[in-house]
Structure 1
Amino acid sequence: MVIPVHDVNPARRTPWVTYALIAANVIVFLSTPGLTGSVAGGGDLAQLCRLHAFLDHYALVPRELIHHRMSQSVPTGDVGVGPAGPGCIVGPPPYGKSPVLSVFTAMFLHGSWLHLLGNMLFLLIFGNNVEDRMGHIRYVLFYVVCGYAAGYGFALLNDASGDPLIGASGAIAGVLGAYLVLYPKARVWVLVPFLVFLPLRLPAWLVLGFWFVLQAVYSSGGVVFGAGTVAYAAHVVGFVTGMLLALPLKPGTPPPPEPPGLLFGRQARPRYTG
C-alpha cells in the first residue's frame, strides 16, 4: 500500500471547506467521551461503556437506517455486574435518534488516532483541488452526498447488522473519485514500503486507481466492520459516486502542471538521435 504525502497540483484559492472539515473531525474526536485511554488499550471499563453508548447514539447502524427505526436495546454508558462479571449495561435508549441524520453525524466520528489521521491526510492532499474546481458551496454538497451514498450503500449490503459504522472515509472516497476524474495526470508524491519507505512521484491515476482496486478486492471478500475492521464497500460506493458527480466538470478543467523531463519522480535521461 502506497502512502500519499503531497500532490504537485497547486490550488487557485484557499480550501476553507477542506480545512473546516479537518478541524471539525479533530474537534469531535477530541470531544468523544471515553475515547481517551481506550484507543491505546489502557481505558477502564467505565470509559469503554461511555464510548460504546456515545457511538451507538451518533453512529450509523445499518439495521436502524434500512428499517428506519432505532434499536430498543442500546448501551446506556453505565457499568453493571451480571452473571458473567462486570460489563456495560444495555437497556432502552434514553434518547431519540434519527437514523437518517446518523449518516451525517457518523462522518465525523473516528475510533482511533490512526483512523482519524489516515482519513485527514487523504482529505488534505486531494480535497483542496476538488474544492477549488467545484467551489466552496458545491463542494460541501458534494462531500455530504458522497458520504450519504457510501453510508446507504453499505447499509443495504449489511441490512441486518446492528453494529455501528463510523468514519469520514466514505465521503473522502468520493473526493478521491472526483480527483481521479478531474486530475488523472497530476503527480503525487508517495512513500512506497520496500525494506525502507521509497519516495516516488507517480501519476494520480495510478495511485488512486490502485487504491480503488484494493478496496474493491477487499470488499468482494465479504465486508465486516467494527473494532479493527474496515467498511471497504462504503469506500467503493463513495468513490464511484464521486467519479459520477465529477464527470460533468471534466470538460474545461485546467490540466495540472507537469514538470518536464520527469518520469515517476526521477529525472529522465535525454535520448539522442543521429
Structure 2
Amino acid sequence: MIIPWGTDAPIYHRPYATIAVMIACVLVFAADPYHRHTEWMLALGDGIHPVQWVTNIFMHADIMHLLGNLLFLWAFGIIVEGKLGAIGFLAVYLAMGVFQSGSIQLLADPAGSQHMLGASGAIYGLMALCMIWAPRNDLYCVVILSGFMRLLIFQPEIPILWFAAFYIAWEVLVASLTSASVQALAVSSALAHASGALGGVIVGLVLLKFDLVDCEGWDLLSRMKHGRTGTMNKTSKRTPHRSMVEKVQKKVAKAKKAKAAGEAPDLVALRTLRGHLDADETEAAMGFYRSTRRRLKGWRPPDPERVDLIKALVAAQAWDDAVGVMQAYLDESNLPSPKIRLKLAEVLIRRLDRPVAGLRTLERVGETDLPSNLVDGRRKLVALAEQIRDEGVLELDAEVQPI
C-alpha cells in the first residue's frame, strides 16, 4: 500500500479550498452514511441528471473509500491549489468532476450498475494536472508491505511524473480490458478514474496553452522541449509557502547539524526563532516559541528576540498570544522596558476588555518610570480602564498568564 502525504512542490497559496472540499466530503458522509439519498448519486441508465454530476463527487461508499480519497485529495490538491489559488482550484476540481461524471452518464453502458459515487474521478484529474505541471517534484509517501508475519514500512520520495503515470496507466489499462470484454464502454471504477484523468489532461494543457497557470518552466511540456538539464523559461518573484513537511525537515536537519557540532539546544532554538522572525513568519515563530518553552524547561529567549516577537504579534493583532508573551517578558527580563508594560496594559484594556488586569499592570509602572511623552498616555489608559470597570464589564480572571 502506498500512501502519499506531502510534497516538495512550491506552494504559493495556502490550501484553504482543498481543506474545505475534504471537510465537505466528511460532512456529506456523516449526514448520509447509509446512502438513503440515492437521488444525489450518479444514476446510470436513467437519463441525464446534470446536478448529480456535482453532488456525487462529494459522496463515498464507506469509511475506507472516504479515507483513501482524502489522502490523495490532500497530496495532489495542495499542489494544484498552490498554483491556482482557492477559486481556481475549486473551478478545475468541479470541472473535472463534472467531465468525468457527465461522460459516464452520457456514454457508458451501465451493464447492471444503477449508481456511482465518489471523488476519485476528480482526484485522478488532480493527479493528471500534477503530472503535467510539476513532473519533477516529489511526493512524500509511506509504503507499507506485509509478508513473513511482519510489516515493512518505507518512506520514499517518488517523482510525481512516475507516481501519476503509473496509476493513470493502470486505470486506463483496466478500463480498456473491461470494456473490451463486453464490447462496450463498461461502467467501472477504472473508467471513472481514467475519464477523470483525461479531464485533468485537457484542463492542464488548456491552462498552459493560454498561460493561465505559472509553472515557472518546470511543466512537462517545457521539460520535454528544453530537456532535463535545460533552464527554466522564466523565474517567479513569488515566495512559496513552505509546506509542513519542508519545515519539519529543515528543523530536524538543523537540530542534527547542531547536535553533531555540539551546539547547545537553547542556541539552536534561538537561531530558529530568529530565522522565523526575520522571515516575517509570525505564526511559525509563535508556534516554535510556545513548543520550545514546553520542551526546554526554563528557556528564555533574549530580550531583543522576545520584543521582536511581541511587535510581530501586535502587528498581526494576535492579542491573546501577545499578552502572554509580554507578561512572560516582564516576569523574566532582568531589565524590562516600561514601554512593554504600558503596551500590555493598553492591549488588555482596549483590545480584550480586561480593565482590572490592565489597572493591575499599570500599578507596576509609575509615571516617574515613563518618558514624559508617555505619561499622558498612561493617565488616559487609567481613566478608560476605570470607566470600563464601572460600566460593569464581566472579567473572570484579572491575572495575566505568561506564555
| TM-score of the aligned structures, taking structure 1 as reference length | 0.67
Note the C-alpha offset of 1:159: 4.5
Cα separation, 2, equivalents of 1:107 and 1:52: 14
2:76 alignment partner in structure 1: 126
1:247 to 193, 202, 205: 205
Note the C-alpha offset of 1:197: 2.5
Asked if structure 2 preserves the Cα contact closer than 8 Å seen for 1:106 and 1:168, the reply is yes
Cα separation, 2, equivalents of 1:114 and 1:234: 18
Note the C-alpha offset of 1:124: 0.7
- 1:50-199 alignment to 2 at 5 Å? 51-54=34-37, 56-64=38-46, 67-68=47-48, 99-155=49-105, 156-159=107-110, 161-195=112-146, 196-199=152-155
1:141 to 1:197, Cα distance in 2 relative to 1, 3 A = same
Cα separation, 2, equivalents of 1:160 and 1:201: 40
Q: Is the radius of gyration larger for structure 1 or structure 2?
A: 2
1:9 alignment partner in structure 2: 9
1:230 to 1:114, Cα distance in 2 relative to 1, 3 A = farther
SS across alignment from 1:239: helix
Q: Please, which runs of 5 or more residues in structure 2 have no aligned partner?
A: 147-151, 180-186, 220-239, 241-245, 247-403
1:28 alignment partner in structure 2: 28
Asked if structure 1 preserves the Cα contact closer than 8 Å seen for 2:3 and 2:71, the reply is no
- Read off the aligned partner of 1:104 and give its amino acid letter: V
Count of aligned pairs between the two proteins: 203
| TM-score of the aligned structures, taking structure 2 as reference length | 0.47
Cα separation, 2, equivalents of 1:236 and 1:246: 15
Cα separation, 2, equivalents of 1:5 and 1:112: 21
Cα separation, 2, equivalents of 1:131 and 1:116: 21
SS across alignment from 1:222: helix
Asked if structure 2 preserves the Cα contact closer than 8 Å seen for 1:143 and 1:171, the reply is yes
Give per-residue Cα distances to partners, 1:29-83, cap 9 Å, x unaligned.
1111xx3xxxxxxxxxxxxxxx3532x221001212xx33xxxxxxxxxxxxxxx
- More strand per residue: 1
Cα separation, 1, equivalents of 2:123 and 2:35: 24
- More helix per residue: 2
1:238 to 196, 202, 215: 196
Give me the CA root mean square deviation.
2.4
1:81 alignment partner in structure 2: none
Asked if structure 2 preserves the Cα contact closer than 8 Å seen for 1:153 and 1:233, the reply is no
Asked if structure 2 preserves the Cα contact closer than 8 Å seen for 1:62 and 1:163, the reply is yes
Are positions 1:221 and 2:177 aligned together?
yes
Note the C-alpha offset of 1:161: 4.5
Are positions 1:206 and 2:162 aligned together?
yes
- Read off the aligned partner of 1:29 and give its amino acid letter: F
Give per-residue Cα distances to partners, 1:68-114, cap 9 Å, x unaligned.
3xxxxxxxxxxxxxxxxxxxxxxxxxxxxxx2101211111111111
1:26 to 1:3, Cα distance in 2 relative to 1, 3 A = same
1:85 alignment partner in structure 2: none
